[in-house]
Amino acid sequence: MAGAGRSLIVGASGQVGRQFLEAMGERAVATSREAREGWLQLDLAALSEVGQAAAVLDGQEFEAIYCVGGMTHVDGCEAAPELAWRTNGVGPGVLAEYARRRGVPYVFFSTEYVFDGAAEDPGPYAEESRTNPLSVYGKSKLEGERRVMAAHPGALVLRTTVVYGPDAKRMNYVCALIRNLRGGVTMRVPEDQVSTPTYNRDLIPAALGLVAAGATGVFHVSGPEVLGRLEFARRVAAELGLDGGLLEGVSTTELGQAAARPLAAGLGTEKLRRMYPELKMRGVAESIADCRAELLG
């Protein structure tokens, strides 16, 4: 049985899950979709009723459950909508019901893609702003939010966006940028997508602090700077000493991506700052300085 004070990290193999493990050490109980030694095996896409979660988790003691995992490949969700719906919508709701029955806090990580980023209704968005997802990814995550809050009214939904930083799988946007620029490869970057890039390490104290404060409902947790993707990429390149001249600004339409993206987006964090005034969400320069060696290693 897990020791008192431990928390369950669902989807611990992803970039944010790994940051939870690094920050919490032995206080974290990790799950993964695949079998891993010392981890619990839990597949969000396979959860359709609470008994399935209980079969894996009963007998463990948790002070909170953090649902970090999900199907986050935006274009991949367009190609496999049923899988996205189960992974991002149904599974998190089932797990929230399990957490409610156990009487423990439950945190579900969602996305800015629940908004449309339309020019007539631009971000940065507040928590109560009108949702209107454009993609299967955004729709499935919004369904997850609804199912989670219906199953566990005391749950916490954290929306974030453009998450970057150390990533063991080297899959996030900044890691792709580094690969291209180091290889002398021109990288086409959308110049019409605006957001609030978020350092992955800062998500952990935010989540833990909000749970400790007894926060419930929806909170936006993102970086402090409103940046276009091209400007973000140029700033990261400059901080890492890479050739920003290889970055080519193009329109989102020119990229021909399978899923529609919100353009004039970003998340406002006034509610977060009121609830947790001592929390510091770092901007690009400070974040890259913190993890420069790991990104370039």
DSSP collapsed to 3 states, the chain:
CCCCCCEEEECCCCHHHHHHHHHHHHHEEEEECCCCCCCEECCHHHCCCHHHHHHHHCCCCCCEEEECCCCCCHHHHHHCHHHHHHHHHHHHHHHHHHHHHHCCCEEEEEEHHHCCCCCCCCCCECCCCCCCCCCHHHHHHHHHHHHHHHHCCCCEEEEECCEECCCCCCCCHHHHHHHHHHCCCCEEEECCCEECCEEHHHHHHHHHHHHHCCCCEEEECCCCCCEEHHHHHHHHHHHHCCCHHHEEEECHHHHCCCCCCCCECCECCHHHHHHCCCCCCCCHHHHHHHHHHHHHC
By CB atoms closer than 10 A (0-12, 13-18, 19+), residue 26 is exposed
pLDDT at residue 2, rounded to an integer: 38
Longest dimension (CA), the chain: 55
Domain ranges of the chain: 7-169+199-224+265-281
The pLDDT tens digits along the chain (297 residues) read: 334 489 999 999 999 999 999 999 999 999 999 999 999 999 999 999 999 999 999 999 999 999 999 999 999 999 999 999 999 999 999 999 999 999 999 999 999 999 999 999 999 999 999 999 999 999 999 999 999 999 999 999 999 999 999 998 888 999 999 999 999 999 999 999 999 999 999 999 999 999 999 999 999 999 999 999 999 999 999 999 999 999 999 999 999 999 999 999 999 999 999 999 999 999 999 999 999 999 998
Pairing assessment for the beta strands 227-228 and 194-195 based on DSSP bridges: antiparallel
To the question of domain 7-169+199-224+265-281 being in CATH 3.30.70.360, the answer is: no
Q: Please name the residue that has the structure tokens 């004070």.
A: 5
pLDDT at residue 5, rounded to an integer: 86
The pTM score is 0.96
pLDDT at residue 1, rounded to an integer: 33
Q: How far is CA 28 from CA 66, 103, 249, 265, 271, in A?
A: 10, 18, 41, 33, 27
Q: How far is CA 155 from CA 55, 98, 103, 146, 219, in A?
A: 22, 12, 11, 11, 11
CA 198 and chain centroid, separation: 9
pLDDT at residue 169, rounded to an integer: 87
Looking at the DSSP bridge assignments, the partners of residue 194 are 228, 264
